[in-house]
């Protein structure tokens, strides 16, 4: 996952990494990790959970959480891409709707 935005002048970070880790855990990992995706994830009831489809589904879960701009949120940063690895050399990348 990549976020884009203006770095904080004090910390140099675009987004608080602890907050980002919590969002990733809540929105994606808890929903997909060690799950039978076709049975346990509504997104894959009628779709094959390919690496590409998982990247798109992760985007759909993360984009509203990161881009919402709520308190303690990304501080103006925006989700810019999702990369899901199948192996160290094979991955799918999704950058949202064009």
Q: What is the pLDDT of residues 28-84, one digit of tens each?
A: 999 999 999 999 999 999 999 999 999 999 999 999 888 875 545 567 788 999 999
pLDDT of residue 27: 93
Q: What is the pLDDT of residue 71?
A: 43
- Please check the confidence at residue 14 and state whether its pLDDT lies above 90: no
Bridge partners, residue 2, by sequence: 81
Of 81 and 97, which is predicted with more confidence? 81
pLDDT at 74: 65
User: From CA 44, how far away is CA 53, in angstroms rounded?
Assistant: 9
**Cβ distance 54 to 86 under 8 Å?**
no
3.30.479.10, 1.10.443.10, 3.40.50.620, 3.40.50.720: which CATH number matches 2-94?
Answer: 3.30.479.10
Rounded alpha-carbon distances, angstroms, from residue 24 to 10, 49, 63, 72, 74: 24, 18, 11, 15, 12
């Amino acid at each position: 996952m990549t976020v884009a935005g203006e770095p904080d002048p004090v910390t140099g970070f675009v987004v608080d990494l602890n907050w980002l880790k919590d969002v990733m855990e809540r929105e994606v990992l808890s929903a997909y990790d060690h799950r039978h995706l076709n049975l346990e994830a509504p997104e894959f009831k009628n779709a094959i959970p390919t690496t590409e489809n998982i990247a798109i589904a992760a985007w759909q879960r993360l984009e509203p959480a990161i881009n919402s701009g709520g308190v303690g949120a990304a501080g103006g940063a925006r989700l810019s891409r999702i990369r899901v690895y199948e192996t160290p050399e094979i991955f799918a990348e999704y950058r949202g709707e064009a």
